[in-house]
Amino acid sequence: MILTGLVVGAVLGIVMQRGRFCVTGMLRDIFLQKSWRTFAALLIVISVHAIGLAALTSLGVIAPEYSTFAPAAVIIGGFLFGIGIILAGGCASGTWYRSGEGLVGSWVALAMYALSASAMKGGMLDGFNSWMTSWDTGLTTVPAALGISPWIFAIALAVFTGIMVRRFMIKEANSPKPARLNNRPAWKRPLHVYNAAWMIGLLGVIAWPLSAAAGRNGGLGITTPSAHTVDFITTGDAKFMNWGTLLVLGLLVGSFIAAKATGEFRIRVADAKTTVRAIFGGILMGVGAALAGGCTVGNGMVETSLFSFQGWIALLFIALGVGAGTKLWLKPSAAQPAAEAQDTVTYSTDESLDHNVLNENPSGNSIDATPSKSPQNTNAFSGFAAAPSALMVKDPSLSPSKKLKDLGDGYYALDSLGAVCPFPLIEAKDVMKTLQSGDHLVIDFDCTQATEVIPQWAATEGHEVTDFVETGDASWQITVKKG
């Protein structure tokens, strides 16, 4: 029966990868974009979970064991976890599925997350974990504390979520449609985040009885299974190869299959700064999730659907940690002279360092934003002549950012290859402010999530996407005309 964990995990990995589903981004959007649109997707997951688990419990199919609320551990752990996922570039499940997309930085964060969680759950930090969780109020769920049926909370949350989603769907229908990749078959297109959300909620409901049948009384979970993966590797003890362990391994396999099938897999090596952030982010994730009793899945999706004090308070402090991390670290890089830019960009990979700019024809100012037919040519700069930037400046007070490469005729290139999300969007927003209406910004990027967020930003801000194409495996180029 434990093999059902692998199957559920693989389907979960496919859905999360195709839906670009990451709770970090949902919480981050509240602070970075002032938008609750994607957070509504998390509420869909919780609502579907809540109704499904309430039904299974009422029918006697499952018998959940409710976590008790340890205030200090949950509050501190949640906040540390929130900071950690900003540094790591993704939440627990997001780090697993992005590892399946080939992001080496996510591999590093995942390793540190699993190691630190293992240390907290029976390793050298177990004593610290026990001490932090020793102050336990004994409170389990809000319905139990109030003596009210959980069905009331489940239905109320579902109604609230439905109203919220309807509002955003109406707004989306009445707004300019975000651009889509040219000539891409329907099966390769990303899932709408709301569709991915109800699928994940349904998988969570299905997961619980399958997990219980395998001797594990729980649903979806990432932190303990990640720790058990390390425990199995280091000890070889078969008890650690359980339903939960196969769930997270399946998540990795499923995301790899989805990314490979849709041309979104490529090994992307992070630079030193990104790697250091991933190390510290992963450690904070493991320590924080262990203290709080769960991550954005265990607490943010499962415990919240049971309406436990731990789940909702942990989610609140995870969000506050995300807000603090967003304010501290999610900022555009400092503008540098063009000659220095490729050595000082905050996020880079070997691909983004290989510009091969051609300056053979200074007078060739004709711009064609379509990439070369050669699959190896994945850079926006190749084949463009660089015109003196001074010729393009109409207003000295609006001089184009030094982070841009002037391509001539009002076209400017931004190299975001190697930048992890949300930095391609952060940089695009930053440099767009320095351009004039009618100018074109040509952005090369290899962050999968940016295929959704950049077109969404352009549509929302009234900019026109004049070209959007794939330039290779997990590489894209989008041309945005400033409105």
DSSP string over 293-337: T--TTIIIIIIHHTTBHHHHHHHHHHHHHHHHHHHHH--PPPP--
Pick the catalytic residue from 22, 91, 421, 447: 421
One-letter amino acid of 258: A
- What is the Rg, in whole angstroms, of the alpha carbon atoms belonging to the chain? 23
127-136, 296-305, 325-334, 377-386: range with lowest mean pLDDT: 377-386
Domain identity same for 307 and 401: no
Query: What's the number of domains the chain is made of?
Result: 2
Note down the domain range covering 412. Answer: 338-481
Looking at the chain, the whole-number percentage of residues with pLDDT higher than 70 is: 87
Closest by CA position to 230, among listed 206, 250, 203, 248: 248
Q: Cα 5 vs. chain centroid, distance in angstroms?
A: 23
Q: Cα 107 vs. chain centroid, distance in angstroms?
A: 14
Q: What is the pTM of this model?
A: 0.86
Domain identity same for 78 and 48: yes
Q: Cα 70 vs. chain centroid, distance in angstroms?
A: 28
Domain identity same for 68 and 28: yes
Last residue in a domain, options 262, 294, 329 = 329
The residue assigned the tokens 């997350």 is 113
Domain identity same for 308 and 394: no
Domain identity same for 346 and 281: no
Of residues 277 and 387, more confidence is placed in 277
Domain identity same for 273 and 382: no
Of residues 352 and 324, more confidence is placed in 324
Domain identity same for 73 and 158: yes
Q: What is the mean pLDDT of residues 167-188?
A: 89
Angle between the N-to-C axes of helices 223-235 and 92-99, in degrees from 0 to 180, rounded to the nearest 10:
60
**Is 91 noted as a catalytic residue in this protein?**
no
Provide the pLDDT confidence category of residue 335 given band limits of 50, 70 and 90: low
Cα–Cα distance between 40 and 92 in angstroms, integer? Answer: 19
Given a cut of 80, whether residue 280 has pLDDT beyond it is yes
CA 20 → CA 10, 194, 401, distances in Å?
15, 11, 30
Domain identity same for 119 and 207: yes
158-162, 218-222, 343-347, 432-436: range with lowest mean pLDDT: 343-347
